[in-house]
Amino acid sequence: MNIILLGAPGAGKGTLASKIVDEYKLPHISTGDIFRENIKNQTPIGVVAKSYIDKGQLVPDEVTCQIVEERLTREDCKNGYMLDGFPRTNAQAEALDKITNVELVINIDVDFSLLMGRLCGRRVCKDCGESYHITRLNGATTCSRCGGELYQRKDDNPETVQSRLDVYNAQTAPLIEYYTKQGKIFNVNGSTTPEDVFEKVAEKLNALRK
Ligand code: AP5
């Protein structure tokens, strides 16, 4: 299965991805995670990416496309992959169409008024990247999966979140139409619980797998 997770910042792409990985064993390719790893290791890509991510802007297409193209050639993607956060612009979608056949685009559709609260209350595991929300943590400060320490992402502050939402509306939302025209969109209501979202998506993926 070659699938894409599409949705606004905070729609629940990472949360859904974690459940899909557990059930379907697809390699999870998150461009946001790749950039954060590069920033942590202070690589040249990390230095460039940081200057955009800290302002809530997109990293330039050339840099992002090159990373994804290289990643998709690796052995673990031979039988499928799950892209999370890529593509985000028309140019990225067109570049992807040239190198691979996308089968399904899962568009997580969420009431915009929920997103600011979800992102500013998010905590992420330093070790495995699992996402949590403070309202579900009951005061815990470590990851229930691996025991890692939880932290707040630097771009999860009100000002940067607003800029990420504006960028999504201007540059990424048009991809819904792009993939609708290709007949590949599967819309799921992301304003319900993570468990409900996964249940709906699993029905679709099971049908695709047959
Ligand atoms: P990235 O890391 O991809 O961030 P994002 O798209 O802004 O998405 P998030 O990770 O913030 O949200 P999510 O949808 O995964 O939500 P989550 O599941 O964590 O990108 C970061 C930056 O990198 C970008 O701003 C850009 O600069 C750069 N970048 C990345 N890709 C790029 C590209 N292709 N081109 C150029 N630049 C790129 O959930 C959020 C919170 O909500 C959590 O607390 C979670 O517990 C909670 N939650 C999730 N689902 C539910 C639910 N159903 N009900 C209640 N709460 C929920």
pLDDT of residue 179: 98
Per run of 10 residues, the mean pLDDT along the chain (length 210 residues) is 97 96 96 96 97 97 97 96 98 97 97 96 93 94 96 96 98 98 98 97 92
Q: Both 71 and 96 in a single domain?
A: yes
Q: Both 69 and 132 in a single domain?
A: no
The question of whether 74 is a catalytic residue gets the answer no
Q: Both 127 and 39 in a single domain?
A: no
Q: Both 26 and 57 in a single domain?
A: yes
Does 192 fall in a domain? yes
Is the pTM higher than 0.85? yes
Q: Both 132 and 202 in a single domain?
A: no
CA of 13 from ligand 1 middle (Å) equals 6
Question: Domain range holding 171?
Answer: 2-112+158-209
Q: Both 86 and 21 in a single domain?
A: yes
d(CA 177, CA 170): 13
pLDDT of residue 104: 98
Pocket of ligand 1 (CB under 6 A): 7, 9-15, 30-32, 35, 52-53, 56-59, 64, 85-88, 92, 118-119, 121-122, 131-133, 164, 190, 193-194, 197
